Amino acid sequence: MRKGRTPRMMALRKWHVRLGWLIGVPLILWTGSGLFMAAAPIERVRGAHLRAEAPALPPITPIAPMLEGRAADQLQLLTIGGKAVWVVTYQDGGRRRADPADGALLPAVGASEASAIARAARKGDGAIVSVTRSDAQHPPLDLRRERPAWAVQFADGARFYIDADTGELMAVRTRLWRWFDFLWGLHIMDLQTREDIDNPLLVVFAALAFGGMLVGSILMFRRRKARPRTEGKPRAKA
């Protein structure tokens, strides 16, 4: 038997090949998705180039909002759709908006108002192609926030999510963001929620990949150690 061809080394080579076939596809997915996410400009992914700067609050003397007898956790005076609006967050998790001119609570945001808010929040022109509402129990996959929301979609594929209770801009999702999110799901092997970074499938394949690299390192070390040394031939005398 040739040096370095012991039964133990032959078994290690077989396991190395088997692990290579098993983890080959995940390694390609990890490398390809990681390369895309590293190369994609994160500000463009987040749609920062589409967000208009929020105008300054107009000079007003706001009147405290009516709280309906509920305990408030936070009060914010914001500019939404070019107007000053109170945003009230209650201790029970509910949220409402109120008019700072008289403190009266305002109704929930409708489709036409959500469209107007999205237009004001977007930089540049863009045609709106659809406006759809989702409830807190079934948020869209690309929003992943348990809030009632309006999805205002523009012709370029960008979606502006408007809070249906307060009118706040919750998120901007572009086509690039959706590709980024899909590849992130592949990267962590969780296409359902795209948030579980310690799911069993990822842990198992990561362990197999580590085992394959460890076996490969052992084989490389043993092969270099078993390689015969070649002595240089003496030079011929002139």
**pLDDT tens-digit readout, 194-232:** 888 888 888 888 888 887 778 777 777 766 665 555 555
| CA 40 – CA 177 distance, rounded (Å) | 10
What pTM was estimated for this model as a whole? 0.79
Tokens of 168: 């706040």
User: Phi and psi for 105 in degrees, rounded to 5?
Assistant: -70, 140
Residues 6+ apart with CB under 8 A from 71: 90, 91, 92
| CA 27 – CA 81 distance, rounded (Å) | 47
**pLDDT tens-digit readout, 121-176:** 999 888 999 999 999 999 999 998 999 999 999 999 999 999 999 999 999 999 99
Which pLDDT belongs to residue 232? 52
Tokens of 187: 């990267």
Residues 6+ apart with CB under 8 A from 161: 140, 143, 149, 150, 151, 152, 169, 170, 171, 172, 173
